[in-house]
Structure 1
């Protein structure tokens, strides 16, 4: 986990293709509820005030589907693993890399 200042975080928003952000109180324990969870798409905060990181991830995937967006190329396999293995959405059609990971996870 990386800790950054609020001003630094907001400055980096425009550089973010897609993501879930989490704001915690200073010196907060990882188990404490965050102050804010939100979703960024193309540098724009599209959702804020979400109750949890889990909800943020689910909302990000919902927006990707609803807006018919492509996964960022650098994160394509990571997003595919979340979608097809962890969330079990369209899990029958896997890329070779993700299929290999799934087989290794099941062993």
Structure 2
């Protein structure tokens, strides 16, 4: 994969093939290990380590910011996200709350990008309908909370097809989704462009000086929480 990197990037960026064609041409790319390696070749960062380290540094301040927004009534949906942590205040659930609450805080519509999947519910074809880039978060039984506290599988969806599955948790899913967007030269989903820009510029610290005015303002606000 290292030896063929230049050829692969030229094909993906120059020809802009369908992802199904990329998968037929380069099937080895579609694994957690190879996506991480490809991302490192492009960005010279360790995908999962950089993502989790950046995320963990922000979790306390972001949760405080969510709490104030929920208490003020400006972002009512954040209250249900935060209430999940009162049941199970684990590190993984804190990470999930930050990631899944981000589009709520930024007033973005995540319905076509992040979907919960009951193992005994609708078929995958129905669940993936309309998903061009996103995550399926698998859980057992009816979902009574804003997000599942016990996730058994997270899958990456591109062009209404699963390209990677059996990811262990929500934060790993987001990291791999960001990696897939880079490796496959995809555009950020329009309905969550600020959320993904936040993950890129603030969490991953990739070209932070190029962030939009909105994300620049959010980053400055977060710095006040960390002081």
Which of the five TM-score ranges fits, normalised by the shorter chain?
0.7 to 0.9
Correspondence for 1:82 among 170, 178, 199 = 199
Correspondence for 2:139 among 18, 24, 28 = 24
Structure 1 residues 12 and 24, CA gap change in structure 2 (3 angstroms)? closer
Aligned to 2:179: 62
How far the C-alpha of 1:89 sits from its partner, in A, is: 2.1
- Deviation digits for residues 85-106 of structure 1 (CA, Å, limit 9, x no counterpart): 1222222211111111111111
Larger Cα-atom Rg? 2
Q: TM-score, normalised by structure 1?
A: 0.82
After the TM superposition, which residues 30-45 of structure 1 pair with which residues of structure 2 at under 5 Å, given as runs?
A: 30-32=148-150, 34-45=151-162
Aligned to 1:11: 126
**CA contact 1:14–1:44 (8 Å) conserved in 2:** no
How far the C-alpha of 1:50 sits from its partner, in A, is: 1.0
Cα root mean square deviation, aligned? 2.4
**CA contact 1:39–1:60 (8 Å) conserved in 2:** yes
Distance 1:56 1:38 in 2: 7
**CA contact 2:137–2:153 (8 Å) conserved in 1:** yes
Structure 2 residue ranges without an equivalent (≥5): 1-80, 82-114
Distance 1:87 1:65 in 2: 13
**CA contact 2:133–2:157 (8 Å) conserved in 1:** yes
Number of equivalent positions: 106
- Deviation digits for residues 42-62 of structure 1 (CA, Å, limit 9, x no counterpart): 211111111111111111111
- Deviation digits for residues 3-23 of structure 1 (CA, Å, limit 9, x no counterpart): 665316540302112111111
Q: TM-score, normalised by structure 2?
A: 0.42
Structure 1 residue ranges without an equivalent (≥5): none
Deviation >3 Å, runs of 4+: 1-5, 27-31
